[in-house]
């Protein structure tokens, strides 16, 4: 299987020109090339990188809707009867101060794009329980990016009920009408479901899947301050430069067949 063709077909997202390339070395010595794109018009930042095992990760941060989406493409094991690939989307709330803004990101420039960085800060691993599935075709209620980004994860897009309700509380247009949220979400079994790695050899059995996503994030540094103006013309200051950090998340979610979670041993 030619990985480049698979990625090109699955990850074709129309974005502006990439603003930043970051090469990051892991503790195990692997080097990942992350492409980071800032889109000022819709106030979003997209981060993409392939892992050495063929997995492709895309993280989209929607600053307007205050949520982030992780899209994961996992190449299938055809000898075990899997399809050519699997696509999953994981949705989480997002706090704006956890990442450089799209406007500030668009102003960063690189002198040495080939430099290999080692994460300067380890932000640990977060356990994330995802107990609802999201109807991608109606997911524009949560973010206009969802129907496009997760179109190939129609039955494998997940979020937490708690995050969705907290998000909905903040959206004035909902006015507390939970039916609008329930239209796009469906609760999944969470109790009495064995973890896939403990469910034996029965590939048809339902189980709780586990998938870890480690992202090398960017935070600003403070060598100097640049003056500029935002989209509204207001004078603002931008910190010049970045440093890298690492943040991992263990996503836990229900799958109807262990066949869909063969990596969780």
CB neighbours of 169 closer than 8 A, spacing ≥ 6?
A: 176
| Per-residue tokens: 22 | 């970051």
161: three-class secondary structure by DSSP = helix
Cβ-contact 86, 150 below 8 angstroms: no
Identify the band that residue 217 occupies on the pLDDT scale cut at 50, 70 and 90. low
Which pLDDT tens digit goes with each residue over 35-72? 888 888 889 989 888 887 889 999 999 998 889 999 99
Cβ-contact 225, 239 below 8 angstroms: yes
| Per-residue tokens: 173 | 């247009």
Q: What's the pTM?
A: 0.79
């Amino acid at each position: 299987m030619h990985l480049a063709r698979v990625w090109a077909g699955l990850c074709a997202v129309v974005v502006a020109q990439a603003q930043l390339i970051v090469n990051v070395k892991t503790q195990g010595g692997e080097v990942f090339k992350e492409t980071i794109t800032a889109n000022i018009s819709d106030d979003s930042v997209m981060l993409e990188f392939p892992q050495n095992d063929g997995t492709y990760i895309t993280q989209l941060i929607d600053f307007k809707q205050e949520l982030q989406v992780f899209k994961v493409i996992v190449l299938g094991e055809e000898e075990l009867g899997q399809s050519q690939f699997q696509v999953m989307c994981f949705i989480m709330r997002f706090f704006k101060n956890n990442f450089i803004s799209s406007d500030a990101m668009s102003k960063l420039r690189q002198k040495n794009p080939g430099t290999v960085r080692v994460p300067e800060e380890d932000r640990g691993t977060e356990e994330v329980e995802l107990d609802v599935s999201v109807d991608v075709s109606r997911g524009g209620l949560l973010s206009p990016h969802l129907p496009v980004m997760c179109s190939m994860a129609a039955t494998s897009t997940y979020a937490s009920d708690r995050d969705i309700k907290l998000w909905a509380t903040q959206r004035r247009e909902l006015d507390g009408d939970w039916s609008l949220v329930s239209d796009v979400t469906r609760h999944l079994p969470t109790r009495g479901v064995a973890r896939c790695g403990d469910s034996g050899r029965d590939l048809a059995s339902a189980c709780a899947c586990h998938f870890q996503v480690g992202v090398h994030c960017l935070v600003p540094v403070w060598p100097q301050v640049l003056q500029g103006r935002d989209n509204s013309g207001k004078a603002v200051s931008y910190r010049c430069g970045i440093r890298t950090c690492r943040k991992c998340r263990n996503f836990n979610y229900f799958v109807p067949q262990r066949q869909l979670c063969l990596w969780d041993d």
